Each structure stands twice: as C-alpha cells, then as structure tokens.
Amino acid sequence: MVSPSFFKKRGFSVIEKTIEIERVEDIISVFGSFDRNLHIIEAELEVAIQDRDNKLHISGEAENVILAEKAIEGLIGLASRGEDISDQNVHYVLKLVSEGKEARINEINSDVVCVTAAGKPIKPKTLGQKEYCEAIENNTITLGVGPAGSGKSFLSVAEAVAAFRADKYNRIILTRPAVEAGERLGFLPGDLQSKVDPYLRPLYDALFEMLGADTYQKYLEKGNIEVAPLAYMRGRTLDDSFIILDEAQNTSAEQMKMFLTRLGFGSKMVITGDITQIDLPEDKTSGLKVAMKILDGVEDVAICNLTSADIVRNRLVQKIIEAYEDYEKKNPQSSNKSGERSKTRKYNK
C-alpha cells in the first residue's frame, strides 16, 4: 500500500482518519481478495490505507481522505447486509460519494425484484436501476433507454416473472424486431421457430435463468409464455399480459405505434432499447426515439434514461461506451448514421 510519506514528499498537507470494523466477515468482504477493493480506493482517491488491529487508517489530502472514509463506511454498510462487494460496487460507491450522494448508498441492492430458479436474488445494483424497477411497478407503460449492460432487458424480465408468480398477469409476452445488426444472415435453415430464435435468444436466456428450463418449457406449452417477433403482434389485443418489447431502437415509427396500440385491459408494457445502437437503414427513423418525444409527459407512462453509470457488466464495457460517447462528441459526422446520432445527443440534452 502507499506510504503516507508519499504525500509529504509531494508537499501535501496530510491528515489521517481511522475506521473501526467490528465484524471479521465485513473486513473480508470490504477488503476483497488480496485487498483488491482497498487498492481500488487508494488508486482512485490517491490515499494510503493501512490495516492495523481491525482498524483502517486512511491518510492523504483532507478532501480525498474524507471521501475514502465515506466510501469505506458505505461498503461496510453493504457488507453488513450480506452483500458481496465486487469491483463494480466499489467503483459505483466511489462515484456516489464524489457526487455527494453517500446517503443513498444503502439504497443499492436493497430490494429483491425476483429470485432465480437457482435461488439467486435479483436486485437493482445502481440507483438508476432501482428507479427503473420502481417505474415498471408503478406505471402501465415504461420506456427503459440505456447502453448495453445497464440491465434494462434483464430487469424487465425479472419484473415480469415476479408479477407472473404473484398472479398479477396471466401471460408474459416477449418480443423483438427481427433486424440484423449490420450483417446479412441470408436464409436461415429450419422451421419458422428456428428462424426467429437467434433474434430472441437474449430473452430466452433471461427467462431460463429466472424460471429454469423445465418450468419455462411447461409455461411455454401452456401458453403462459410467448416469445415472438414483433411482426406477430399486428392485429392482436393483449389482455392480462406483461409485455416486453426489447431492442426497440430497431422499430420503425409505424411499428412502435402498432405495438403500443396492442395494449389491452389489465396489461403492462415495458419497452427497452439503446438509441446509440440503431441498426435500421439510414432513411428510417427509430420508433423508440419518436415514442420518447411523443409520450413524454403522458400520464401512466414513464421514461427512464439509464446511463453508463448503471452498467453492471465488466467495467471495461463502461469504459468502452464512455470512449465511444467522447469520440462521437468530438467527431459528430464519424458515424454512418451521423444525422441520427447528432439528433440523439441534442434530444438527450
């Protein structure tokens, strides 16, 4: 670990704070493997952290030491609730304390949305994800817009399974537009189901994790679960159903209007998408972007904008997305859909 003398040599005014950790289990969780979590805090805040007699001694510049103290106390609070402290937790807690939101750390991972077939509780891991789940529960239609890895699709499926298990809805309907992501796959072999399965695989994976393969198959055969391309929705009225439209950035304006008007009595809709990854032809406007403008302010409709801070995949994914955002801001004409991208940035502002 960094020595306090390091700061003195650089001419800093060094202060020291001491945190006492009572439970050995919390020490193990907060420290991480080979003190990895403490090393992250040291590197991010340029402080020195030393462990002596179940006490953490933090030294460095006053402002950074105070931030490190708040971050560690927040992590101890998470660990005391039985949470495993991962790199993602550490980085997110550091972000919250740097923004003065340390009082909200205890809201992270506080609610269980659903329990998987293997008994794993599914919880929102960021404040943005928490607000997204609350919006789904409190509104008839929710638009979840955000980058890859922000949990918008996975959490929507978790909410659907939880509501279905609670007998709030008779069916779960999952749909996606069958749009290729920049590739030309040609004619796929097999029957109709085999042809559409590749487009719907992420939804299958989420359902398998929540329900287990056997239970999923049972509900599928009984008609309680339906997974189908968006084109199959035309002409239908969907009553008593929890309906999820995934990859909605690849719908046309006409398709989105068609989908929204399928809403029947006693049903709920969640629409998810990433408006920075539109695979439509250049002359087509994304139906998701149009819907965000038209439905803004409509009663019982929520629009949730998740950000790179809500990404819970490998931390490198967050860095990649932030790097792309920076590049596109500096090079607005670099994308082959530059018009769409510049409009997206203007709208988000």
Counting runs of H as helices and runs of E as strands, what totals does the chain give? 13, 11
Instruction: State the pLDDT at residue 335.
Output: 52
pLDDT band at 313 (very low <50, low <70, confident <90, very high): confident
Across the chain, what does the average pLDDT equal? 84
Q: Residue 149, Cβ neighbours under 10 Å: how many? A: 19
The residue ranking higher by pLDDT, 102 or 54, is 102
Average pLDDT over residues 69-80: 90
Instruction: State the pLDDT at residue 241.
Output: 96
Cβ–Cβ under 8 Å, residues 142 and 271: yes
In three-state secondary structure terms, 92 is helix
Cβ–Cβ under 8 Å, residues 167 and 242: no
Which residues, 6 or more positions from 222, have their beta carbon under 8 angstroms from its beta carbon? none
- Distance in angstroms (rounded) separating the CA atoms of residues 207 and 220: 11
Predicted confidence (pLDDT) at residue 163 exceeds the cutoff of 90: yes
Average pLDDT over residues 168-197: 68
Q: Residue 230, Cβ neighbours under 10 Å: how many? A: 24
Q: With CA atoms as reference, report the closest residue to 192 among 202, 179, 178, 206.
A: 178
pLDDT band at 183 (very low <50, low <70, confident <90, very high): very low
Q: What is the pLDDT of residues 14-28, one digit of tens each?
A: 788 888 877 777 788
The residue ranking higher by pLDDT, 344 or 64, is 64
Instruction: State the pLDDT at residue 228.
Output: 82
Instruction: State the pLDDT at residue 10.
Output: 56
pLDDT band at 172 (very low <50, low <70, confident <90, very high): very high
- Distance in angstroms (rounded) separating the CA atoms of residues 68 and 7: 15
Instruction: State the pLDDT at residue 133.
Output: 96
What values do phi and psi take at 261, rounded to 5? -85, 5
- Distance in angstroms (rounded) separating the CA atoms of residues 85 and 341: 36
The CATH architecture assigned to 125-348 reads 3-Layer(aba) Sandwich (3.40)
Both tokens assigned to 43 = 């590197």
Residue in this structure with the two tokens 């995949």, named with its chain if needed? 313
Predicted confidence (pLDDT) at residue 342 exceeds the cutoff of 60: no
Predicted confidence (pLDDT) at residue 349 exceeds the cutoff of 60: no
- Distance in angstroms (rounded) separating the CA atoms of residues 177 and 229: 6
Instruction: State the pLDDT at residue 324.
Output: 84
Beta-bridged to residue 49, according to DSSP, are 58
Predicted confidence (pLDDT) at residue 35 exceeds the cutoff of 70: yes
Q: What is the pLDDT of residues 227-286, one digit of tens each?
A: 888 888 888 899 999 999 999 999 999 999 999 999 999 999 999 999 988 888 888 899
Which residues, 6 or more positions from 276, have their beta carbon under 8 angstroms from its beta carbon? 147, 324, 325, 328, 341, 344
- Distance in angstroms (rounded) separating the CA atoms of residues 259 and 271: 10
**Regarding beta strands 141-145 and 114-115, do their DSSP bridges make them parallel or antiparallel, or are they unpaired?**
unpaired
Q: What is the pLDDT of residues 62-74, one digit of tens each?
A: 899 999 999 999 9
pLDDT band at 142 (very low <50, low <70, confident <90, very high): very high
Instruction: State the pLDDT at residue 347.
Output: 36
Average pLDDT over residues 330-337: 64
The residue ranking higher by pLDDT, 136 or 13, is 136
Instruction: State the pLDDT at residue 184.
Output: 47
Q: How many CA atoms lie within 13 A of 343 on its CB side?
A: 12
Percentage with pLDDT > 70 across the chain: 85
Would you give the DSSP letter of residue 149?
T
Percentage with pLDDT > 90 across the chain: 45
Residue in this structure with the two tokens 């487009």, named with its chain if needed? 199
Lowest mean pLDDT of 75-79, 299-303, 309-313, name the range. 309-313
pLDDT band at 334 (very low <50, low <70, confident <90, very high): low
pLDDT band at 314 (very low <50, low <70, confident <90, very high): confident
Domain positions in the chain: 5-107, 125-348
Instruction: State the pLDDT at residue 158.
Output: 95
Cβ burial 21-36 (10 Å sphere, 16+ → b, else e): beeeebeebbbbeeee
**Regarding beta strands 121-122 and 114-115, do their DSSP bridges make them parallel or antiparallel, or are they unpaired?**
antiparallel
Average pLDDT over residues 46-54: 85
Average pLDDT over residues 282-306: 94
CATH code for the structural domain at 5-107 = 3.30.1370.10
Instruction: State the pLDDT at residue 168.
Output: 96
Residue in this structure with the two tokens 């670099």, named with its chain if needed? 334
